[in-house]
Amino acid sequence: MKIIRAKNYDHMSRQAANIISAQVILKPDCVLGLATGSSPIGTYEQLIKWYEKGDLDFSQVRTVNLDEYVGLDREHEQSYAWFMRSHFFDHINIDPSNTNIPCGTALDGNAECKRYDDTLRSLGEIDLQLLGIGPNGHIGFNEPDSCFTKGTHKVALTETTIRANRRFFQREEDVPRFAYTMGVCDIMNASRVVLVASGADKADAVKAAFFGPITPLVSASILQLHPNFTLVADEAALSKV
């Protein structure tokens, strides 16, 4: 595990964007695993700036997102499909047909998980997986559990996650209770994993995940075993280690 200590959110975002940028330059048709949420927004903003300067070309890049809320249509403003378009895809020259996100409105949940697993397999190895971390140590929506889940699955969101994501919705009852998420093994199969963490409210999760025992109760902790894992965290997120 490599730790890059950043001064603050902006610095963390630039450091993570530098790693992703190098990946895209070295392998223009790479597969990027992408995350949503507040943590990676600055990283996407930086990548967009470099794209606008002509330094990055996403025309051959393929992407696969970690997760999507069950029940939200891709046009819903809180869906992760919408998030990715508004924060990243609409601002770069990526081919929309090269982007993949679970379908929140699929009628058959099991079939949707299988479809997404097939998509992951057809893309081959993820060259770089970008992650955030939940306050309970989740990656993707792999919530605290008794075992590490392998592939894409439907998950009931915990109260902690519902409360953390409440800020994006008008009312707490609007926060979806279920999501589709890539499994921990899918994430571990990526060649390189980069996790961004910022702010004091992530300090406990960072400590438990990367300086505590490896346990499915803190799904990010398994990244301690990944051969090419980089934690890019700011001083506040690292304040308890």
In whole angstroms, give the CA distance from residue 181 to residue 209.
19
Is the CB of residue 112 less than 8 Å from the CB of residue 71?
Answer: no
Tell me: does residue 176 bind ligand F6R (CB under 6 A). Answer: no
Helices 41-52, 9-26: axis angle to 10 degrees equals 50
Among 42, 102, 137, 140, binds ligand F6R (CB under 6 A): 140
CB of 196 to ligand F6R, least distance (A): 8
Please identify, using beta-carbon distances, which residue of 9 and 51 lies nearer to ligand F6R: 9
Tell me: does residue 67 bind ligand F6R (CB under 6 A). Answer: yes
Q: In this structure, what are the phi and psi dihedrals at residue 104, rounded to the nearest 5 degrees?
A: -65, -20
Active-site residue among 143, 186, 226, 234? 143
Number of residues this chain uses to bind ligand F6R (CB under 6 A): 14
What the block records as the tokens of 192 is 């390189």
3-class state of residue 18 by DSSP: helix
Q: Which stretch binds ligand F6R (CB under 6 A): 93-101, 110-118, 133-141, 184-192?
A: 133-141
Tell me: does residue 79 bind ligand F6R (CB under 6 A). Answer: no
CB of 90 to ligand F6R, least distance (A): 18
CB of 132 to ligand F6R, least distance (A): 2
138 is an active site residue: yes
The amino acid present at 94, given as its one-letter code, is I
Among 139, 155, 188, 206, binds ligand F6R (CB under 6 A): 139
x-or-dash string of contact with ligand F6R, 2-41, rule CB under 6 A: ---------------------------------xxxxx--
Q: Find where tokens 């605290």 sit.
A: 144
Task: Name residue 10's beta-bridge partners.
Answer: none
- What is the residue-wise DSSP string for 173-214? GGS-SEEEE--HHHHHTSSEEEEEE-SGGGHHHHHHHHSS--
3-class state of residue 155 by DSSP: strand
Active site residues: 67, 136, 138, 143
